[in-house]
Amino acid sequence: MKIYADKLPEALTKKLPPVVIVAGDEPLQHMEACDTVRQAARQAGIEEREILPVEANFAWGRLREASASLSLFASRKLIELRLAGNNLGQEGSKALKEYADDLGHSDNVLLIAMGKLDFRQQKSAWFQALDKAGLFVPVWPVDASRLGFWLRDRAERHGLTLELDAARLLGERTEGNLLAADQELQKLALLAPPGARISPREIAGGVEDSARYDVFTLVDACLKGERARVSRIMAGLRGEGVEAPIVLWALTRELRTLLSLHQHLDQGQSFEHACKSQKPVIFDKRRPAYQQALGRLPRKRLHKLLLFAQRLDLAIKGASPLPVEDGLHDLALTLAGGRGLLAELPSSYRIA
CATH no. for residue 192? Answer: 1.10.8.60
Render pLDDT for 83-136 as a digit per residue (tens, 0 to 9): 987 778 889 999 999 989 888 777 889 999 999 988 888 899 999 999 999 999
Q: 173 lies in which domain range?
A: 144-206
Q: Which DSSP string corresponds to 151-179?
A: HHHHHHHTT-EE-HHHHHHHHHHHTT-HH
Residues 150 and 69 in one domain: no
What is the tally of structural domains in the chain?
Answer: 3
Residues 187 and 306 in one domain: no
Residues 227 and 273 in one domain: yes
**What's the pLDDT score for residue 349?**
54
Q: Residue 205 pLDDT more than 90?
A: no
Domain boundary among 155, 180, 206: 206
Render pLDDT for 221-265 as a digit per residue (tens, 0 to 9): 999 999 999 999 999 999 889 999 999 999 999 999 999 999 999
Q: Residue 344 pLDDT more than 60?
A: no
Sign of CA dihedral 328, 329, 333, 336: positive
The reply to whether omega before 321 is within 30° of 0 (cis) is no
For the chain, what is the largest distance between any 2 Cα atoms, rounded to a whole number of angstroms?
Answer: 79
Binned at pLDDT 50, 70 and 90, residue 341 comes out as: low
Rounded to two decimals, the pTM is: 0.74
* Spatial contact of 332 and 222, defined as CB atoms under 8 Å apart: yes
For the chain, how far is it from start to end, CA to CA, in angstroms? Answer: 51
Residues 239 and 188 in one domain: no
Residues 334 and 234 in one domain: yes
Domain boundary among 167, 184, 206: 206
Binned at pLDDT 50, 70 and 90, residue 215 comes out as: very high
User: How many Cα atoms occupy the beta-carbon half-sphere of 265 within 13 Å?
Assistant: 15
Q: What share of the chain is helix, strand, coil (3-state, %, to 5)?
A: 60, 10, 30
